[in-house]
Structure formats: structure tokens, C-alpha cells
Amino acid sequence: MIEYTDSAKIDVLKQALIDNRYTDVIDRLRPNSKISINPSQKGFIDIYLQYPNDFIDSLREAIYRVRTQKDGDLELIRSSFDKIKINLIGELLMNMHDINTKHENTTVTLEAKFDCPLCGNEYDEKCTIDRTIIVPTCHNTSCKKVKTLIRTSEMVTDDIQTILMQEPMDKSKKSSPVIFTGKLVGKLDRFI
Ligand SMILES: [Zn+2]
């Protein structure tokens, strides 16, 4: 596993923000804005899985640095935008086939909120006894059962040290879900 220094983490995340086209959103941010980031996108995911506890802090600094490209003064941007709220959203639960033993120190989701990407309806979901979370589909008829996206900033994780993790049954290949043992490394920051 590659270890990143704090400044390397911020550099990687800054590049990920640019590569995944967040620049326009960041350039339009106001001091009280919310920004939604999908940490399962390329560039974010490795840092997110390896450093879940300070991911948001690094991401916040990376956002300030992207904004600096437009407005110049990093110190001023840090103080003007210290109240922006960062929501993590995405499809992490669907990507567990991509997670291998190098990601053993990953938190696991026991309870989560999901948002419909079309109409914004919210759904609460708990994991079942075998630690599976079924990703809900939107009930709104005009959304035609679109899959909802997990709001990762409000995931509830367990404090136990070692658990089995299993991907959602509906996402597994040939009904053989990936299961492996992992350790929990603490809770994600929920609110910034
Ligand atoms: Zn919907």
C-alpha cells in the first residue's frame, strides 16, 4: 500500500477534482454553499479508502486550492469558505468487487441514507443480519425505479474491530458476493 503525505493526499484530490469536472462547481461556490462529491470516482477512491478519517479535511483543502486557481489568495479563500458543507455521495456499495485485501482497513456501512439522483427523494436503509445492504430503488413512478445513491457522509458504521464485509447481493457476480474480513478504523466525519 502506498503511504501518502498530507500534501500528497491534497495534490491527488485536487487533481481528482479537476479530472472529474468539479472545477465549475467549485468556481461558483459561495461561502454558505454545499458541494456533493462522489468519492468512488477515479482519483478519490484510494485516498478515501485508505484515510477515511481525514478524507474530508484533505478534500476541503483540495477544494480551496482548486478555487485558488480562479481567485488567487489561498489564505483568503480558506477563511471565506470555512463554512462550506461537503456531502459525500456515490456508489461505493456497488464497487466492492474492486476492493481487495489491500483495502482491509476499510469502514463498513451498517446503515445509510440514499438519495434518488432524479427527484431527490430520501431513503433510509439498514443492513441485514448478514451485513448486506440492499440499494433501494426510487418509489416515485416518474423515476422508473432508478437506483438511488448512497449519501456517504451519513453512513453509520460499527465500532467492532473485525467483521465480515459482503457486497450487496443484487450487485454480485453470479450470486457469489465478495466476502472478506476487515477492520474498522473509526467513523467518518459526518458534518463539517
Ligand atoms: Zn426519484
Top-confidence range, 1-5, 101-105, 129-133, 155-159: 1-5
Q: How far is the CA of 116 from the centre of ligand 1 (A)?
A: 5
Q: Which residue has the cell 461558483?
A: 28
The Cβ of residue 99 has, within 10 Å, a number of other Cβ atoms equal to 18
Query: Contact 141/177 with Cβ under 8 angstroms?
Result: no
Lowest mean pLDDT, pick from 33-47, 107-121, 148-162: 148-162
Which residue did the predictor score with more confidence, 173 or 46? 46
- The pLDDT confidence band at residue 74, using thresholds 50, 70 and 90, is very high
Q: What is the mean pLDDT of the chain?
A: 75
CB 52 within 8 A of CB 69: no
53 CA distance to ligand 1 middle (Å): 31
Nearest to 26 by CA among 57, 91, 71: 71
Q: What integer is the mean pLDDT of 76-92?
A: 85
Please give the distance, rounded to the nearest whole angstrom, from the Cα atom of residue 158 to the centre of ligand 1: 29
The answer for residues whose C-beta is within 8 angstroms of residue 79's C-beta and 6 or more apart is none
Q: What is the four-CA torsion angle of 104, 122, 81, 41, rounded to 10 degrees?
A: 40
Ligand 1 centroid to Cα of residue 103, in Å, is 32
145: left (phi over 0), alpha (psi -120 to 50) or beta: left
Ligand 1 geometric centre to CA of 149 (Å): 11
* pLDDT band per the 50, 70, 90 thresholds, residue 161: very low
Residue 41 C-alpha to ligand 1 middle, in angstroms? 22
- 143 in Cβ contact with 165 (< 8 Å): no
Q: Count other Cβ atoms within 10 Å, centred on residue 173.
A: 9
Q: Which of 33-37, 148-152, 176-180 has the highest mean pLDDT?
A: 33-37
Residue 180 has pLDDT above 70, yes or no: no
Mean pLDDT score, 17-46: 89
pTM: 0.52
